């Protein structure tokens, strides 16, 4: 209700100044008149004057209508309602009062004065006419007794002259008021024209110009729209000031009212409920008498300037922050790049991050993508360092999000999250406290996430994007440094492992006893690895048994019986696959296995369970001969590098074990050889005696052979020549007188005698060959072949095609090889003589570092089932009437080839030909490739 009343009492405001002037004047007159009429009506009602009360109510209704019209800007209508209603009300009051003699007549002049201020000349004439009508109504009504006018005895009776006098008085006053109003309106028009020019000038200025009263209320604005006027007009400028500017604003305003001028940058609230910065010049407005009636303010919008300054400031701050970040990152890079050991790199990274960021805890995490496990090489929490076991990567954790998305994550927990943290998402480390603020940045090296670094704070909302950028940049530098340190440590560890392997290999290779080798291996491993239990197992493949030549547990030797290879165990897996194996058990696994000791196939001390164990195969010659195992009772005691080292040791041990076996066998062989040498010495003495005896026997046999050869050569040839000669004479002299059967028998005797002579010649050649000495020289096999063929083909009637390849030279006896090659080629000619198109091929090829010569024909061939009889003396596979021969030729060839250290063999198929191969010592010669016919 209060707001409604205040709104009704608020002065109206319009764009037109003349309308504003009239509307404000009407507003005041109507409110005063309304108040007076309410009081008069109340008095009339109390005193029982019904007519006065009714008249007052009617006038109040007109006043309300005029007030409503004035509020909406119809000032002319409101003026007419006020003036004409006033005339009507005054006429009614005078009519019930003393008439034209009533003192209220003076209000006619007041109405004229009001009309001159509110209306133009035309309106003044209308009001004057209404006043004249009112006077006429009163005068004539009183004169004729129409009105209930109460005349006192002392009053004169009304006359018609009174009407003309009052009318003349009103006309004269109206004329005077018209003249004054015209002069006034002309002055107002001039003033308004000047004001319009002034307004045009002021509105052309881009700045905002406002006129304030001495209380700070805005009275006028240039370039003000209806919305602006409705928002700003009559509003105190102090309402537009922001809270932090109000105190300063009042002080400045009082200084201006004291006569000073000021220039200030002030933040004001606009009609859009936004705060904008303005540069405002304030100066006093002086009255002609020198007093200050208000303040003029010229405001220039500098929000864009302020925004630019803010942007510049932010840019400078960002540049400064970025420079600071780069300095920090450079310092981190310089620091970590100078270190090569991993632990030192991690500690230096912590110190650098402590300088760059506010932190209570710091964690460096390594991520193994293959196992999806996280390890914690550095955990710093509340001033202390902690050792943490590896854990699986939980997909819901901040670390997982940072690794998967490869982005830096800021986590600012709420009070609710601190009081009721999620259960089971990830394992707490360090002091187990829940961090209120966390930044986690991935370490990416060569496009692969190797881990994360995390800064933790126990305060709320500690970290910003700037902190995240610093940690992200540091993560890249630290990741590279960590990777370099790991590579350096890997190289150093590899060098140490190679040196260790070399030392172990050198130490155990000098040992020849198996027990010494195994014990030495155990002691050498203790220097480089944590070894609480150790064994070497040897595998017998044929028996399928595992033996344990050495078993040590907690420094005590254990004797273990040989056992079958049990599938499913770690040992069987290594032996069957040949791959090393690493196991790092958790505490839960150790506890579970301790409750199941009866079901375990334990070695050594069965009451203790190894927390970490490695098994590597013993491989030699591509075969697994056993396995070597190192075990520890500490958690995570071994790494993949340790397993690689043990595998290398296993290889050295396998070689050393084989060396001990070879050494043992060598000792046995040497003992056996010594015994054999003693026996050989004894046998040599007997052998010498036997050689002498055999030599004597051989000499006697040679003498007998020479005697036999002489007998065959001389004693057997004479009778054969006699038989042959006698049959020849008989046939020559008595052929005509002898019957045909007798002639045939004599010819058969003659042929057999000739064949017997050839057989004796072949036999003599065969026996003579055994005593002939081989005289080797370089022989051109190709030339030799051509000469043999030319000689053999002199008396041949049928045509034969010879294919002679390029033949390499041979280092042999020319005469013997000529005889052998002649026998082979003549055989080929003989056995291919019945072919329509006989072909003989002589060639060679290289095989197993020796030259193989061959003679191939397409003749009768032979059955391979009888190939072993070809080279025997007097062995024949064909009848005499099919192919002539003695059966000694191939035997001679074999003996010649054997005397040269070569080999001879044959391949053939019945009616498909035969091929005879033989080898001779090579001559260093590159065979030609052309073929000759």
Q: Answer yes or no: is pLDDT of 440 > 90.
A: yes
**Which residue has 């010669």 as its token pair?**
925
Q: Is there a contact between 438 and 408 (Cβ–Cβ < 8 Å)?
A: no
Q: In 97-159, where does DSSP find H-type helix?
A: 107-118, 121-143
Name the pLDDT band for 424 (thresholds 50, 70, 90). Answer: very low
Q: Answer yes or no: is pLDDT of 857 > 50.
A: yes
Q: Answer yes or no: is pLDDT of 541 > 50.
A: yes
Alpha carbon distance 627, 13 (integer Å): 106
Average pLDDT over every residue of 624-653:
86
What pLDDT shows up at residue 929?
Answer: 40
Beta-carbon contacts of 681 under 8 Å, excluding residues fewer than 6 positions away, are none
Q: Answer yes or no: is pLDDT of 600 > 60.
A: no
Name the pLDDT band for 933 (thresholds 50, 70, 90). Answer: very low
What pLDDT shows up at residue 310?
Answer: 85
Alpha carbon distance 624, 642 (integer Å): 20
- Output 98 or 552, whichever has higher pLDDT: 552
What pLDDT shows up at residue 160?
Answer: 57
Q: Answer yes or no: is pLDDT of 295 > 60.
A: yes
End-to-end CA distance of the chain: 141
- Domain architecture of the chain: domains with CATH: 2-200 (no CATH), 206-301 (3.30.450.20), 329-484 (3.30.450.40), 493-593+606-668 (3.30.450.40), 773-932 (3.30.565.10)
What pLDDT shows up at residue 743?
Answer: 78
Average pLDDT over every residue of 546-569:
86
Q: What stretch of H or E contains 838?
A: strand 838-847
* Long-range contacts at 732-739 (CB < 8 A, ≥ 24 apart): none
Record the tokens describing residue 763, joined without a space.
């036999």
**Burial of 561 from C-beta contacts in 10 A (0-12 / 13-18 / 19+):** exposed
Report pLDDT digits (tens) over 323-358: 776 776 677 666 656 656 677 778 888 887 888 888
Highest mean pLDDT among 186-190, 739-743, 775-779: 775-779
Report pLDDT digits (tens) over 372-405: 888 898 999 988 998 888 888 888 888 888 999 9
SS3 assignment, position 288: coil
Q: Furthest-apart CA pair in the chain: how many Å?
A: 235
Alpha carbon distance 167, 837 (integer Å): 175
Average pLDDT over every residue of 743-750:
74
Q: Is there a contact between 827 and 878 (Cβ–Cβ < 8 Å)?
A: no
Give, in degrees to the nearest 5, the angle at Cα 195 between 194 and 196: 90
Percent of the chain at pLDDT > 90 equals: 8
Name the pLDDT band for 216 (thresholds 50, 70, 90). Answer: confident
For the chain, the C-alpha Rg in angstroms (whole number) is 70
Average pLDDT over every residue of 619-632:
88
Alpha carbon distance 657, 655 (integer Å): 5
Q: Answer yes or no: is pLDDT of 199 > 60.
A: yes
Q: Answer yes or no: is pLDDT of 445 > 60.
A: yes
Report pLDDT digits (tens) over 691-703: 777 777 766 765 6
Closest by CA to 889, choosing from 779, 769, 798, is 769
Alpha carbon distance 227, 94 (integer Å): 48
Report pLDDT digits (tens) over 446-474: 888 989 999 999 999 889 888 888 888 88
For residue 334, the Cα-to-chain-centroid distance in whole angstroms is 27
Beta-carbon contacts of 926 under 8 Å, excluding residues fewer than 6 positions away, are 808
Average pLDDT over every residue of 58-64:
81
- Output 227 or 365, whichever has higher pLDDT: 365
Report pLDDT digits (tens) over 890-905: 888 888 888 888 899 9
Average pLDDT over every residue of 123-140:
80
Q: Give the residues across from 546 on adjacent strands.
A: 539, 563
What pLDDT shows up at residue 506?
Answer: 67
SS3 assignment, position 102: coil
- How much is the mean pLDDT over the chain? 78
Name the pLDDT band for 427 (thresholds 50, 70, 90). Answer: low
Residue 226 sits at φ, ψ, to 5 deg, of -60, -40
What pLDDT shows up at residue 919?
Answer: 92
Handedness of CA 687, 689, 692, 694 (dihedral sign): negative
Q: Answer yes or no: is pLDDT of 149 > 90.
A: no
Q: In 301-445, where does DSSP find H-type helix?
A: 303-337, 342-356, 398-405, 415-419
Q: Is there a contact between 131 and 88 (Cβ–Cβ < 8 Å)?
A: no
SS3 assignment, position 863: coil
What pLDDT shows up at residue 625?
Answer: 87
* Full DSSP string of 738-771: S-HHHHHHHHHHHHHHHHHHHHHHHHHHHHHHHH
Name the pLDDT band for 878 (thresholds 50, 70, 90). Answer: low
Q: Is there a contact between 243 and 259 (Cβ–Cβ < 8 Å)?
A: no
For residue 870, the Cα-to-chain-centroid distance in whole angstroms is 79
What pLDDT shows up at residue 452?
Answer: 92
Q: Answer yes or no: is pLDDT of 921 > 60.
A: yes
Inter-CA distances, 450 with 229, 368, 407, 829, Å: 67, 7, 13, 85
Q: Is there a contact between 91 and 149 (Cβ–Cβ < 8 Å)?
A: no
Average pLDDT over every residue of 651-677:
80
Report pLDDT digits (tens) over 31-55: 887 887 788 778 878 877 776 677 7
Lowest mean pLDDT: which of 98-112, 113-127, 339-353, 386-400? 98-112
Record the tokens describing residue 605, joined without a space.
């001390």
Name the pLDDT band for 286 (thresholds 50, 70, 90). Answer: confident
Q: Are strands 800-805 and 838-847 parallel, antiparallel or unpaired?
A: parallel
What pLDDT shows up at residue 120?
Answer: 77
What pLDDT shows up at residue 932?
Answer: 39
Average pLDDT over every residue of 562-566:
85
- Output 24 or 145, whichever has higher pLDDT: 24
Beta-carbon contacts of 281 under 8 Å, excluding residues fewer than 6 positions away, are 261, 262, 263, 297, 298, 299
Exposed e or buried b per residue across 869-878, where buried means at least 16 C-beta atoms within 10 angstroms of its C-beta = ebbeeeebbe
Record the tokens describing residue 193, joined without a space.
């024209």
What pLDDT shows up at residue 380?
Answer: 92
Beta-carbon contacts of 33 under 8 Å, excluding residues fewer than 6 positions away, are 63, 82, 86
Lowest mean pLDDT: which of 628-642, 709-723, 855-869? 709-723
Name the pLDDT band for 704 (thresholds 50, 70, 90). Answer: low
DSSP state of 260: -
Q: Answer yes or no: is pLDDT of 87 > 50.
A: yes
Name the pLDDT band for 930 (thresholds 50, 70, 90). Answer: very low
Report pLDDT digits (tens) over 173-186: 566 566 556 666 66
């Amino acid at each position: 209700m209060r707001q409604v009343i205040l709104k009704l009492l608020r002065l109206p405001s319009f764009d037109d100044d003349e309308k504003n002037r009239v509307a404000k004047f009407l507003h005041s007159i109507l409110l005063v008149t309304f108040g007076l009429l309410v009081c008069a009506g109340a008095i009339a009602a109390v005193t029982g004057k019904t007519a006065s009360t009714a008249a007052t109510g009617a006038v109040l209704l007109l006043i309300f209508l005029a007030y409503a019209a004035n509020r909406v800007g119809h000032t002319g209508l409101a003026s007419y309602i006020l003036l004409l209603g006033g005339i009507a009300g005054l006429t009614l009051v005078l009519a019930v009062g003393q008439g034209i003699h009533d003192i209220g007549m003076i209000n006619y002049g007041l109405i004229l004065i009001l009309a001159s201020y509110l209306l133009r000349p035309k309106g003044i004439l209308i009001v004057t006419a209404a006043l004249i009508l009112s006077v006429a109504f009163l005068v004539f009504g009183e004169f004729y007794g129409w009105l209930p006018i109460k005349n006192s005895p002392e009053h004169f009776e009304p006359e018609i002259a009174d009407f003309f006098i009052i009318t003349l008085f009103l006309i004269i006053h109206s004329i005077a008021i018209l003249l004054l109003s015209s002069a006034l309106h002309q002055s107002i028009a001039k003033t308004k024209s000047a004001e319009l020019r002034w307004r045009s000038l002021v509105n052309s200025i881009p700045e905002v110009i406002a006129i304030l009263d001495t209380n700070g209320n805005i009275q006028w604005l240039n370039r003000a729209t209806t919305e602006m006027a409705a928002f700003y007009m009559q509003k105190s400028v102090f309402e537009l000031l922001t809270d932090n500017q109000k105190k300063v604003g009042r002080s400045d305003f009082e200084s201006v009212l004291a006569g000073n001028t000021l220039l200030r940058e002030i933040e004001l609230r606009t009609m859009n409920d936004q705060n904008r910065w303005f540069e405002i010049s304030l100066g006093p407005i002086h009255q002609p008498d020198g007093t200050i009636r208000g303040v003029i303010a010229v405001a220039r919008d500098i929000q864009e300037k302020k925004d630019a300054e803010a942007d510049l400031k932010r840019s400078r701050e960002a540049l400064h922050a970025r420079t600071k970040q780069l300095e920090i990152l450079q310092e981190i890079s310089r620091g970590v790049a100078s270190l090569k050991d991993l632990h030192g790199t991690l500690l230096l990274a912590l110190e650098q991050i402590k300088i760059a960021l506010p932190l209570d805890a710091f964690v460096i995490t390594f991520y193994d993508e293959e196992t999806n496990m996280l390890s914690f090489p550095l955990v710093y929490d509340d001033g202390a360092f902690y050792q943490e076991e590896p854990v699986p990567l939980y997909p819901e954790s901040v670390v997982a999000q940072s690794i998967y998305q490869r982005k830096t994550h800021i986590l600012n927990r709420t009070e609710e999250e601190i009081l009721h943290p999620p259960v089971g998402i990830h394992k707490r480390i360090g002091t187990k406290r829940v961090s209120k603020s966390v930044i986690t940045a991935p370490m990416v090296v060569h496009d692969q996430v190797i881990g994360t670094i995390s800064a933790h704070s126990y305060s709320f909302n500690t970290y910003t994007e700037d902190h995240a950028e610093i940690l992200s940049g540091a993560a890249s530098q630290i990741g590279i440094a960590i990777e370099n340190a790991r590579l350096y440590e890997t190289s150093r560890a590899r060098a140490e492992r190679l040196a260790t392997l070399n030392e172990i290999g050198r130490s155990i290779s000098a040992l020849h006893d198996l027990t010494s080798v195994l014990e030495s291996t155990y002691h050498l491993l203790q220097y480089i690895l944590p070894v609480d239990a150790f064994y070497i197992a040897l595998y017998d493949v044929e028996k399928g048994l595992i033996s344990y030549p050495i078993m040590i547990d907690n420094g005590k030797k254990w004797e273990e019986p040989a056992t079958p290879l049990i599938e499913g165990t770690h040992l069987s897996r290594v032996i069957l696959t040949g791959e090393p194996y690493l196991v790092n058990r958790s505490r839960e696994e150790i506890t579970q296995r301790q409750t199941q000791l009866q079901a375990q196939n334990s070695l050594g001390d069965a009451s203790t369970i190894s927390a970490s164990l490695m098994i590597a195969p013993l491989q030699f010659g591509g075969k697994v001969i056993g396995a070597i195992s190192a075990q520890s009772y500490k958690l995570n005691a071994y790494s993949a590098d340790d397993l690689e080292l043990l595998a290398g040791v296993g290889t050295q041990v396998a070689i050393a074990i084989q060396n001990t076996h070879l050494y043992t066998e060598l000792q046995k062989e040497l003992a056996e050889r010594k015994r054999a040498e003693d026996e050989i010495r004894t046998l040599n003495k007997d052998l010498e005696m036997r050689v002498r005896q055999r030599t004597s026997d051989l000499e006697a046999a040679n003498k007998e052979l020479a005697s036999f050869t002489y007998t065959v050569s001389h004693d057997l040839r004479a009778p054969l020549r006699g038989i042959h000669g006698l049959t020849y004479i008989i046939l020559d002299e008595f052929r005509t007188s002898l019957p045909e059967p007798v002639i045939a028998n004599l010819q058969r005797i003659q042929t057999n005698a000739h064949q017997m002579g050839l057989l004796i010649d072949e036999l003599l050649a065969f026996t003579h060959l055994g005593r002939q000495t081989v005289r080797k020289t370089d022989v051109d096999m190709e030339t030799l072949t051509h000469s043999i063929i030319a000689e053999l083909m002199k008396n041949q009637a049928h045509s034969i095609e010879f294919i002679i390849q390029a033949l390499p030279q041979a280092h042999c006896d020319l005469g013997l090889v000529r005889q052998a090659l002649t026998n082979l080629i003549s055989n080929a000619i003989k056995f291919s003589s019945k072919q329509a198109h006989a072909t003989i091929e002589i060639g060679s090829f290289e095989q197993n570092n020796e030259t193989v010569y061959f003679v191939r024909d397409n003749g009768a061939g032979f059955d391979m089932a009888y190939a072993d009889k070809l080279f025997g003396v007097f062995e024949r596979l064909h009848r005499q009437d099919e192919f002539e021969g003695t059966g000694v030729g191939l035997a001679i060839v074999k003996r010649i080839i054997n005397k040269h250290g070569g080999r001879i063999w044959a391949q053939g198929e019945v009616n498909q030909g035969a091929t005879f191969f033989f080898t001779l010592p090579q001559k260093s010669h590159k065979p030609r490739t052309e073929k000759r016919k």
